[in-house]
């Protein structure tokens, strides 16, 4: 089969054997794979990953030795694969298992390939009403929705989402189902427009300070979600929070952030980190059409045009790029 590998600064299509599913695993034929910021970090050598990347995907079950009834079904899959035995795994939170692997990120071949295998337990069926172009967002959408699982957002809460990248947009589209008082702050008018068209109040920091749509006054938000992707975001986020407000951090910056911790102490700010989320919840949002993810797609390339696709995806300011495998 064909698979994409990152190899010392180059992206190559290679011929590798189709994975053989062990008992308890399923073989999936890939339909669509999303290219993510994390893939760029893998490409740049961030995690020392070797193998086939790709963790955002929808596919069709080719073989499921232990679960024949799902063969032929469309599926998405949780990317975290725990040991199955520790307290985190027994509590169904494998993302914190100390010996976890992650599909396409750490110790497990991913979905920039015609086929991949995953543990049977990681697979979630995609219902007929959800298109492939929507289902491929299940993993990043789950990560966006995880904000609402880490922090209780009340309908009266004023919420600010900082960052109009793919994740920031998804977070804003999710959280506006929980509170009408939501503002998305970013610096790219085209991306902000994508959110505004779905009824989200937006603020562009690139516009002059006297803009009447400014999300002011600073220090007035109950919850600020920092998804700027920048190490400076956390310090900016603190300025928007009211005393005893909650800061949710989504940015994983390679550069350590420096922060005025006195502000956190004096204003008694609560801080929550948030990573991967629940794919079942993401699929239910897609099924019930609580948001439209398709305006976030910038391009869909056939897998043969992988080089153009990755160049597009790793370039500045783009939205979601998808690779079609079959
Ligand atoms: Zn991702
Ligand atoms: Zn474990």
Least confidently predicted of 36-40, 114-118, 139-143, 283-287? 36-40
Q: Which long-range contacts (CB under 8 A, 24 or more apart) does 97-105 make?
A: 102/55, 103/54, 103/55, 103/77, 103/79, 104/39, 104/52, 104/53, 104/54, 104/55, 104/79, 105/38, 105/42, 105/47, 105/49, 105/53, 105/55, 105/79
Residue 48 has a pLDDT of 84
CB atoms within 10 A of CB 145: 25
Burial of 95 (0-12, 13-18, 19+ CB in 10 A): middle
Looking at residues 190-202, what average pLDDT do you find?
94
% of the chain residues with pLDDT over 70: 97
Cα 193 to ligand 1 centroid, rounded to whole Å: 23
User: pLDDT tens digits for 239-266?
Assistant: 999 999 999 999 988 888 889 999 999 9
CA 79–ligand 1 middle distance (angstroms) = 10
Measured in Å, residue 36 CA sits from the centre of ligand 1 at 4
- Reported as a single tens digit per residue, the pLDDT across 27-73 is 999 999 999 989 998 998 877 888 999 999 999 999 999 899 999 99
Q: Considering every ligand atom, which ligand is closest to the CA of 103?
A: 1
Tokens of 109: 């071949």
Check: pTM over 0.75? Answer yes or no: yes
Centre of ligand 1 from the C-alpha of residue 38, in Å: 6
Query: Which one of the ligands is nearest to 97 CA?
Result: 2
Overall average pLDDT of the 112-130 stretch: 97
Cα-to-centroid distance, 152 and ligand 2 (Å): 27
First to last CA, the chain: 12
The CATH number of the domain covering residues in 2-137+293-324: 3.90.180.10
Instruction: Report how far ligand 2's centroid is from the alpha carbon of 124 (Å).
Output: 20
Among the bound ligands, name the one nearest to the CA of residue 41: 1
pLDDT confidence bin for 277, thresholds 50/70/90: very high
Cα–ligand 2 centroid distance for 82 (angstroms):
4
> Ligand 2 centroid vs 270 CA: distance in angstroms?
28
- Interacting residues of 286 by C-beta distance below 8 A, sequence separation 6+: 130, 134, 135, 137, 138, 141, 293
Minimum-distance ligand to the CA of 88?
2
Task: Say how many Å lie between the CA of residue 167 and the centre of ligand 1.
Answer: 9
Tell me the per-residue pLDDT of 73-96, one tens digit each, with 9 for 90 and over. 999 999 999 999 999 999 999 999
**Cα 62 to averaged position of ligand 1 atoms, centre (Å):** 24
Q: What is d(CA 325, CA 302) in angstroms, rounded to the nearest whole number?
A: 6
Spell out the domain ranges in the chain: 2-137+293-324, 144-273
Top CATH class of 144-273 equals alpha beta
How many C-beta atoms surround the C-beta of residue 76 within 10 A? 30
Closest CA to 170 of 32, 37, 312: 37
């Amino acid at each position: 089969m064909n698979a994409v590998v990152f190899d010392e600064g180059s992206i190559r299509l290679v011929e590798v054997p189709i994975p053989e599913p062990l008992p308890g695993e399923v073989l999936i034929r890939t339909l669509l794979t999303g290219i993510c910021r994390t893939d760029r970090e893998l490409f740049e050598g961030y995690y020392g990953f070797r193998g086939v990347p790709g963790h955002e995907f929808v596919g069709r079950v080719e073989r499921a030795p232990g679960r024949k009834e799902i063969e032929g079904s469309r599926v998405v899959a949780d990317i975290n694969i725990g040991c199955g035995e520790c307290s985190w795994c027994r509590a169904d939170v494998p993302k914190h298992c100390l010996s976890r692997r992650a599909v396409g990120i750490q110790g497990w071949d991913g979905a920039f390939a015609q086929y991949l295998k995953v543990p049977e337990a990681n697979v979630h069926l995609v219902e007929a009403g959800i298109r492939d172009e929507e289902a491929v967002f299940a993993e990043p959408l789950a990560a966006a929705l995880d904000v609402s699982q880490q922090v209780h957002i009340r309908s009266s809460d004023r919420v600010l989402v900082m960052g109009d990248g793919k994740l920031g947009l998804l977070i804003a589209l999710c959280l506006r189902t929980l509170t009408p008082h939501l503002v998305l702050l970013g610096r790219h008018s085209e991306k902000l427009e994508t959110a505004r068209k779905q009824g989200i109040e937006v603020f562009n920091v690139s516009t002059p300070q006297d803009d009447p749509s400014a999300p002011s006054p600073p220090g007035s938000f109950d919850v600020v979600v920092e998804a700027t992707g920048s190490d400076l975001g956390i310090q900016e986020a603190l300025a928007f929070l009211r005393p005893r407000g909650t800061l949710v951090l989504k940015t994983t910056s390679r550069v350590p952030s420096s922060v005025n911790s006195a502000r956190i102490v004096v204003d008694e700010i609560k801080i929550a980190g948030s990573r991967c989320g629940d794919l079942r919840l993401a699929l239910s949002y897609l099924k019930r059409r609580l948001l439209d993810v398709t305006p976030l797609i910038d391009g869909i390339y056939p897998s043969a045009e992988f080089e153009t696709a990755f160049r597009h995806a790793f370039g500045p300011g783009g939205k979601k790029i998808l690779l079609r495998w079959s």
